[in-house]
Amino acid sequence: MPSSVTADVAPEGYSAVHRYRQNGLGGGMSVVHRHPCIQAASVEMNSPSSTTDRLVVKLSTRRTGSINLAALYRPPLSSSYSTSVSSFCSEFSDFMDELLLLPGQPIICRDFNCPGRDSVSIDQQLSDLLESRNLVQAVCQPTHNDGNILDLLITLDSSRICSKIAVHGPGHSDHKLLLLTSMSAARHMYPPLFML
């Protein structure tokens, strides 16, 4: 990847792992992290990804071990690249099985475009799938200007890595900013992780 791409998305003192979008138009996905506090490496997954664009990054620190951060983008139903929630869940099931086999704690996040029946729920098919893997979706308020939860943060039910999640409206996007404060098992606070 050209260094100009990562230089554009990563402020001074930070580094980025980037993957160009596989489905549709747009620049792709990036995970921006502070270097050298965090070591980051892209992880190639074998499960199919025809319904989403995704980027999996192993984040490692001396204190906590590994976090497998998976960022996904599922196009909205209004997009010509979109598929049904059922098709997405079938493919996502295989992806989760592969991700959960990796050593380290999983965090799955970003724009799933699977709203539920009300402003604080997600699609029931996705909810059932997460429950079947002992995963929880931690965002409890709308993340989109239309009043839906579209941007998710998913962890193991037993995980304590996400100690606090806040949703902020940055004003320059139809999606809101998620701010995750993370804590290790040793109770060390990490700097906030921003997701937009």
* Among candidate residues 158, 139, 166, the one with its CA nearest the CA of residue 150: 139
Instruction: Evaluate if residue 56 carries a pLDDT over 70.
Output: yes
Alpha helices in the chain (DSSP H): 3-9, 85-101, 124-132
Instruction: Please report, for residues 28, 68, 136, the alpha-carbon distance to residue 158 in angstroms, rounded to integers and kept in the order given.
Output: 31, 16, 9
- Mean pLDDT lowest among 22-26, 49-53, 110-114: 22-26
Whole-number Å distance between alpha carbons of 45 and 30: 16
Q: What is the pLDDT of residues 121-165, one digit of tens each?
A: 999 999 999 999 999 988 878 877 777 888 888 999 888 777 677
DSSP 3-state percent helix, strand, coil across the chain (nearest 5): 15, 35, 45
- Mean pLDDT lowest among 70-74, 99-103, 171-175, 183-187: 183-187
Instruction: Tell me whether residue 134 is exposed, middle or buried, using C-beta atoms within 10 angstroms of its C-beta: 0 to 12, 13 to 18, 19 or more.
Output: exposed
Instruction: Evaluate if residue 97 carries a pLDDT over 90.
Output: yes
As its CATH architecture, domain 3-161 has 4-Layer Sandwich (3.60)
Written as one letter, the residue type at 21 is R
Residue 31: phi and psi, rounded to 5, are -115, 120
**What per-residue confidence (pLDDT) applies to 87?**
94
**What per-residue confidence (pLDDT) applies to 5?**
52
- Mean pLDDT lowest among 19-33, 39-53, 98-112, 131-145: 19-33
190-193 long-range contacts, CB within 8 A, separation 24+:
190/64, 191/34, 191/37
**Residue 101: pLDDT band with limits 50, 70, 90:** very high
- Please provide the distance, in angstroms rounded to a whole number, between the alpha carbons at the two ends of the chain: 22
Which residue did the predictor score with more confidence, 196 or 123?
Answer: 123
- Mean pLDDT lowest among 11-15, 93-97, 150-154: 11-15
Instruction: Evaluate if residue 186 carries a pLDDT over 50.
Output: no
The domain locations on the chain are: 3-161
Per the structure block, which two tokens stand in for 108? 């799955």
| Contact (CB, 8 A) for 51 and 89 | no
- Mean pLDDT lowest among 36-45, 86-95, 99-108: 36-45
Per the structure block, which two tokens stand in for 139? 């965002």
| Contact (CB, 8 A) for 51 and 29 | no
Whole-number Å distance between alpha carbons of 156 and 67: 12
**What per-residue confidence (pLDDT) applies to 93?**
97
Residue 92: phi and psi, rounded to 5, are -65, -35
Phi-psi region at 113: left, alpha or beta (left = phi > 0; alpha = psi -120 to 50): left
